[in-house]
Amino acid sequence: MINVDLKNAQIKIEDLLKYQDQVTTIHQKLEANIANEDEFCGWIDMPLRYERDLDYQASWQKMNTLALKLQEEVDILLVIGIGGSYLGSRAAIEMVQGLYNQKAPVKVIYCGNTLSSTYVSQLLEYLTDKEFAINVISKSGTTTEPAIAFRLFYDLMVNIQKKAKDVVRNRIIVTTDKETGILHQLAKDKGYQTFVVPNDIGGRYSVLTPVGIFPMLVAGLDVERVMIGAQKAYQECKNDKILANPAYKYAVSRYYLYQERNKSVEILATYETQLQMFAEWWKQLFGESEGKENKGLFPASVLFTTDLHSLGQFIQEGSKIFFETVITLKEPTLDVNIPKFENDEDQLNYLTKYSLNEINYKACQATIAAHSGYQFGNVPNIILEWEKIDSEMFGFAAYFFMRACAMSASLLQVNPFNQPGVEVYKKNMFELLGKNK
Ligand code: PA5
């Protein structure tokens, strides 16, 4: 479902094949680590695990029942979480449903991902007269941003809206660790419904667990198809051979451009507005997994053609510290015909033989030629050809990029599954806030 095209990337097959031994060794290690909970490789066989593991089956059943109930009772689901605890579900919901979908049974809104008092105040006001449920998601159960948001929106539901106790119990759903953490204890004490973030899966690799799946279900996504897509990706990406595994072909290509061609920034370019949050999820995945020990590609993103009128200038003629990874699409979710005007007053009749998507595709081809052409931009372009955008594609793409990320971080010899650097700001902030140890 994703074809990795290197025609415009200034990469030869031999450039990739010289990493084959390293890739095989890393691949074998990742596969062997699935069995060891402390290695955080549980996401690797998650597409199969959810069907064969009885605990997961029970959890899926519970998620389905609860999602259907919420769809009948509330208009809004407030997802409270930060980083890997919200980006995956948001990426999936916006990618599959688009941004102005009128048919979604429940609107999903996000909080706990910011300390902006203006954003939070406006959201509190917006929700005051609305029927909403809360899914608070935190693996550690101690992250400050979601913890503050949960207190504020709990206060709204309980003390301002004055919802009855049983209503509150039904409308607060907690996704957290199975056994530990403040949130886990709180959910237990108050009798909230809970879902578990598996011990062996870290935040940014958790989109195919209840962390991502429950909000998708409430929003009305076909999550069975998400998992079918992930299973297809699992099958296509379980080969250790670079040329037979599209995720590894992409991973090694970006590693080659970083290592051998001095490219220190990767720009993910998309032409679909509904992929903007997917790009945010991708940035977190690669940024937190690779940026360690003074190594790693800085993951950036652009939305074309929008950003051709801003960053396009820099990409075409600015300093060449980057390469582009461009997502192209065979079939859009929806298309629009350009109407013909009899007197052609705006002189656009020449476009009426194309649909809007066909014009977008021409812009994409023109841009790839302008940016990558040797005599023009001379920016390597890795093209990822996607067939379509739907639930299955989301599952495939999410799994594809997680596999690629684990491989490329391992090639850099950094741990793809920790994020020690994130703690530094927290320590400083807690000192400034006078938090008790
Ligand atoms: O990928 C990660 O592990 C992080 O981005 C976490 O998801 C993020 O920090 C939120 O952590 P938690 O779910 O523990 O609140």
140 Cβ below 6 A of ligand 1: yes
Q: What percent of the chain has pLDDT over 70?
A: 100
- What is the pLDDT at residue 55? 84
CA of 202 to the centre of ligand 1 (A): 7
Residue 171 has pLDDT above 90, yes or no: yes
175 Cβ below 6 A of ligand 1: no
Residue 51 has pLDDT above 90, yes or no: no
pLDDT bucket at 437, cuts 50 / 70 / 90: low
Burial of 95 (0-12, 13-18, 19+ CB in 10 A): buried
- What is the pLDDT at residue 399? 98
CA of 217 to the centre of ligand 1 (A): 21
Q: What is the pTM of this model?
A: 0.97
- What is the pLDDT at residue 147? 96
- What is the pLDDT at residue 202? 95
The b/e string for 388-415 (b: 16+ C-beta within 10 A; e otherwise) is ebbbbbbbbbbbbbbbbbbbbbbbbebb
CA of 235 to the centre of ligand 1 (A): 28
143 contacts: CB under 8 Å, gap ≥ 6: 82, 85
Residue 11 has pLDDT above 90, yes or no: yes
CA of 314 to the centre of ligand 1 (A): 33
| Chain-centre distance for alpha carbon 30 | 21
- What is the pLDDT at residue 72? 97
Residue 219 has pLDDT above 90, yes or no: yes
CA of 86 to the centre of ligand 1 (A): 9
Name the nearest CA neighbour of 173 among 280, 278, 89, 53: 89
pLDDT digits (tens, 9 = 90+) for 177-205: 999 999 999 999 999 999 999 999 999 99
Q: Is 427 part of the annotated catalytic residue set?
A: no
Sheet with 322-329, side-by-side order of all strands: 2-5, 381-386, 322-329, 265-270, 298-303
Name the nearest CA neighbour of 203 among 121, 132, 295, 287: 287
82 Cβ below 6 A of ligand 1: yes
Catalytic residue among 145, 288, 290, 392: 288
416 Cβ below 6 A of ligand 1: no
- What is the pLDDT at residue 93? 98
pLDDT digits (tens, 9 = 90+) for 95-135: 999 999 999 999 999 999 999 999 999 999 999 999 999 99
CA distance 434 to 437: 9
Q: Is 371 part of the annotated catalytic residue set?
A: no
pLDDT digits (tens, 9 = 90+) for 370-394: 999 888 889 999 999 999 999 999 9
151 contacts: CB under 8 Å, gap ≥ 6: none
* Mutation choice for ligand 1 from 111, 113, 139, 285, CB with most ligand atoms inside 8 A: 139
Query: Are the CB atoms for 78 and 124 separated by under 8 Å?
Result: no
Residue 423 has pLDDT above 90, yes or no: no
Instruction: Read off the pLDDT of each residue in 38-65 and give the average, rounded to a whole number.
Output: 91
> 3-state class of 231 per DSSP?
helix
Residue 245 has pLDDT above 70, yes or no: yes
Q: Is 309 part of the annotated catalytic residue set?
A: yes
